[in-house]
Each structure stands twice: as C-alpha cells, then as structure tokens.
Structure 1
Amino acid sequence: MMDAPVVMIENMHKHLERESGADPWAAAMAAAEEVGPALFFSLIIIAVSFLPVFALGGEEGKLFAPLAFTKTFSVAAAAMLSVTLVP
C-alpha cells in the first residue's frame, strides 16, 4: 500500500530535478498525470484479487473473510488517496 505514494513522490522529485526553474505545482501535476493511472489500477487489481476469498464458505470463509475485508478496504482507500491526496 505504501508503494504508490513512494512512486508518486519519487516521480515528482525527478520532474522537479529536470525542470529546476519551472513552477513546482505544474511539475507535480505533470508527474501525477504520468504515473497516477498506473498506480491507481495496480492497487485496484490487488483489491480485486481478494474477491475470490469472499466466495469461500464454511470454516474457510469465517477464517479468511476478515483478512479479505481488511485488505480490500485498505487497498481501495490507498488507491483513492494515491491519486487525490498524495499529488
């Protein structure tokens, strides 16, 4: 979950290094537009990968459902925050 903000900030840092005299907000927007969609979809794919766990029934469902809910909600929240708050 922490990969997306690290990648976003690292890309912003690279943009600011390349364009040293440019507006920092414009460089941040360019960096966010460059990697934002890829980061968002990579986190959504991770969240979707836990969906088969919800189909489990019986004892397995009771055992793994809390993990799947927690991981799915936290990754979905990280996906939303990585394209809204981080840039």
Structure 2
Amino acid sequence: MPSVLWVSLFMWSYQKLASVYPRERPLLLLRVSGEVVEVDEKLSDLPGLVNTSPYEKGWLIKVKLSNSGELNSLMDDDKYSKFCEGNH
C-alpha cells in the first residue's frame, strides 16, 4: 500500500468540496486519516483542472496516511462511476 495518497475528486467516497474559488478555502472531507504533506497551489489560478485533468494536473492534496488499511474502504473510479449512475 502507498504511504502517500494523491487525492483527486474521483479517488474517495463521500467527498465534499465546498468551494473551488481562489479566495476561499475549500472544505474537503476524506475517509482516510493522516497528514496533508502537499497542497496543489496551482488550482487557485486554474480550478478547472479538477474537472479537466483530475488524475494528472488537477489533484488537490497529498496525504501521508496514518493507516493504509483505510484505503480498502475507498471506491476506485469504476465503483464511483457506478455509484453515481445509481443516484440519478
């Protein structure tokens, strides 16, 4: 299991992003515990990257995990897509 998790909008379940506006601090709820070790500062100027390149240029934060076993409770992109389809 990786010790650092790169977080994008499609990598965790039950996430909430309150704001992607440059002057506001977004609220991000994660289903993992750990320490934020890096924040993608370029999203302040280019928030659209979260939608156009979520796996490469639009990542939000890097988290050093406290318990890598928590990754087992997260959805991968296929499971998340199916979850979203079921809610429409």
Whichever structure has more helix as a proportion of its residues is 1
Higher share in strand: 2
TM-score range, shorter chain: under 0.3
Give the TM-score, by structure 2 length. 0.23
Greater Cα radius of gyration, structure 1 or 2: 1
How does the TM-score come out when normalised to structure 1?
0.24
